[in-house]
Amino acid sequence: MNYREVEGGREFVARLETGADWRAEIEALAEDAGVDAGFFLALGAVSAAEFFFYDQERTEYDAIAFEEPLEVAACVGDVSILDGERFAHTHAVCSRPDGSAVAGHLDSATVFAGECYLREFDARLEREHDSTTDLDLWPL
């Protein structure tokens, strides 16, 4: 395991714009606030969503689209720099009207309503390619 100590800095709360992209809204918050690294929690509802599932054998993402209203029961993630841009690494659990859930790496979703809490770290984290997993990870 690799790690480093970080301290929390500024904290923000935001309301995501109806009709906007969920992840893009969080990235815009980080950009506007100048947050290079942080952790976020969010909840709300979306009218459609696309999740990614990472196939570890093929080292590729498979997209799973849901063109239906979903309740965002839990959304967690982190903000860091990827290819020079702020990137919100976002995972979510969303529920359907019958209580069943879909979950995974949230690539995009159309906001119906959303609220987000973002806590800044006192560090700059820039993702680098990890040859073992073929993913862009924090270089700790």
Instruction: Please name each of the domains of the chain with its CATH number.
Output: 9-121 (3.30.1330.80)
Query: How far is residue 49's CA from residue 64's CA, in Å, rounded to a whole number?
Result: 8
What pLDDT sits at residue 2? 86
Mean of pLDDT over the chain: 96
Contact 29, 11 (CB under 8 A): no
pTM for the predicted model, two decimal places: 0.93
Q: Is there a contact between 140 and 3 (Cβ–Cβ < 8 Å)?
A: yes
Identify which of 78, 72, 82, 91 has the alpha carbon closest to the alpha carbon of residue 118.
Answer: 78
Q: Rounded mean pLDDT of 40-63? A: 97
**pLDDT classification of 77: cutoffs 50, 70, 90:** very high
> Taking the alpha carbons of 134, 93, 72, 38 in that order, is the dihedral positive or negative?
negative
- Could you tell me the pLDDT band of residue 56, with boundaries at 50, 70 and 90? very high
